[in-house]
Structure 1
């Protein structure tokens, strides 16, 4: 299967300095310490999974393969998938002023669940 958006090349560098700069940017923007820790952890996980040198470029296709591997081999949750993608996207936007086209990698929203308790009017409307 061919995905044209996966062929876009972007120079994503996961240097220690870039990750530290990202951390400082998040602190200045007043992100919570838990969010900062989660995003930094996500970036380090992606860096390890990509097995790139600190200054090696990465493509969106590479990122797609990492996400795919984590979902199918490591059984990563939907929230983990979102966090990895959003951390990478924010990192790239804040540190390198570039936009990643990773929206296609975000999981589809789940359908709304029916409420457990229905009002009398709702029951009547369903039965009519």
Structure 2
């Protein structure tokens, strides 16, 4: 996913305030649930925070290097829709989030839909990877 420079006050995940939403996670606070992690990862992609995307990806499934998450200059992520969540509670070891990510590529709108698996790793939620829809 490529970066989109959002205003400093709104959050790309859909919240009205980046500072009290995804910024706290980007700055190191652990996500409380798979959905919170999904939202913060989308926001990180939209803001060009590949460091956060890499850090919150399970080491067994993430790209080898953070640089492998290079920006695509003609792609901007504009809106996230969370469609469904399962698991991810206080006593769960995993959870899923089904979402639609809206983007613009070369000025044309597009949509990506994914069912993502999240697991606990070293006590924190991390992205494992996509599951079949």
TM class, shorter-length:
under 0.3
Q: Which of structures 1 and 2 has the larger relative contact order (alpha carbons within 8 angstroms, sep 6+)?
A: 1
Whose radius of gyration is greater, 1 or 2?
1
TM-score normalised over the length of structure 2: 0.26
More helix by share: 1
